[in-house]
Amino acid sequence: MLRIQGIVGHVGDSDFQSLLHLLEHAGCIEVLFIPSTDVGRKRFRLKTDRGTDCAISLDRNEMLADGAVLYIDAERAIVARFGEEQVWRLLARDQAAALKLGWNAGNLHWRVRFEGHVLEIQLDRPLQEYRARILQLIESGEVREVANV
């Protein structure tokens, strides 16, 4: 369990920009999704999208914000996001399409995981921004969107 005492900063802080950029390219940013019911709490325990168990303890004067940096070092960062995790599920038509989809997801540094043959993309931004990047694969039928099960 990782004990987090307070908020380190925010993703928009200039002090963190270069390190967060490097960590993002290395795939070393974990997201802690904070349900709306826990946003005002000062002490809670949740797991990141990568499974890190976090015990968070905030001072009375600290207010959690979407994009708060809760932990950062040279190897990883943990960032708070409000709401439930949003995923976009995609299925490639064949191996060639899967290679194209995988190349795009990697090149764009999308946070992904696999559920069988389905690629789940963890959304940090609006879905239409992701769709625009692979629209050609979707329109050609090489990749199709799959409903959540």
pLDDT, one tens digit for every residue, the chain (149 residues): 999 999 999 998 998 889 999 998 888 999 999 988 888 899 999 999 889 999 999 999 999 999 999 999 999 999 999 887 789 999 999 999 999 999 999 999 898 889 999 999 988 778 999 999 999 999 999 999 998 64
DSSP 55-90: EEE--TT----TTEEEEE-SS-EEEEEES---EEEE
pLDDT of residue 123: 86
- Residue 60: give its domain's CATH number: 2.60.260.20
Identify the three-state secondary structure at position 103. helix
Four-point Cα dihedral 126, 131, 134, 140, nearest 10: 170
Same domain, 76 and 28: yes
CATH number of residue 97's parent domain: 3.30.70
Q: Is 37 exposed, middle or buried (0-12, 13-18, 19+ CB in 10 A)?
A: exposed
Is residue 97 located within the same domain as residue 52?
no
Residue 24 shares a structural domain with residue 76: yes
* Structural domain boundaries enclosing 121: 87-145
Within this chain, do residues 67 and 40 fall inside the same structural domain, yes or no?
Answer: yes
Please give the tally of structural domains in the chain.
2
Last residue of a domain, one of 82, 109, 130: 82
Whether residue 31 is found in the same domain as residue 65: yes
Do 126 and 107 lie in one domain? The reply is yes
| pLDDT of the residue at 148 | 65
* CB neighbour list of residue 42: distance below 8 Å, 6 or more residues apart: 57, 58, 59, 60, 62
Which residue among 38, 55, 82 closes a domain? Answer: 82
Q: With contact defined as beta carbons under 8 Å apart, do 94 and 114 qualify?
A: no
